[in-house]
Amino acid sequence: MERTSNRALPLILAREFAANVATPFVVLDADGTLVFFNEPAEELIGQSPSELGELPEDEWKGRFSVERRDGSPVANEDTPTAIARRERRPAHETLVYTSLDGIRRTIAVTATPILEREDELVGVIALFWEVAGE
């Protein structure tokens, strides 16, 4: 995940910010590629950034099944990160993620686009946290 030389400055700064906060945090580029996640996010993702490297959207989303709390499935294009990227607006939802190892977690996710200029999308940041007692 050290490939930042061709990245827009706001994406590089988002990565630096993520590396220095205790909230689980991921940084995606404009194509949805997972370019960075911080240490607190490792538990949900199941590996460290150095182990995974950059992952295209279909690969990192393929590590989870996602459903709403009522059990209805959530399509990849309906997740907060996809909405933030597509509609260039913040999106928030509490969803149930089941990782490849079968662990289910109820996670609140807030995603927001990173815009370099008015409408020039350079990426998305997503903060998430496990919802206690669910």
* Chain segment 69-124, per-residue pLDDT in tens: 999 999 989 999 999 999 999 999 999 998 877 889 999 999 999 998 778 999 99
Amino acid at site 53: G
Chain centre distance of CA 42: 12
pTM (whole model) above 0.75: yes
Q: What is the pLDDT of residue 93?
A: 97
Structural domains of the chain, with CATH:
9-130 (3.30.450.20)
Judge contact between 41 and 63, C-beta under 8 A: no
d(CA 78, CA 50): 28
C-alpha distance from residue 10 to each of 16, 29, 122 (Å): 10, 10, 8
List the beta bridge partners of residue 64: 99
* Chain segment 78-90, per-residue pLDDT in tens: 999 999 999 999 9
d(CA 117, CA 87): 15
C-alpha distance from residue 29 to each of 54, 70, 73, 101, 119 (Å): 10, 31, 25, 26, 15
Judge contact between 23 and 129, C-beta under 8 A: yes
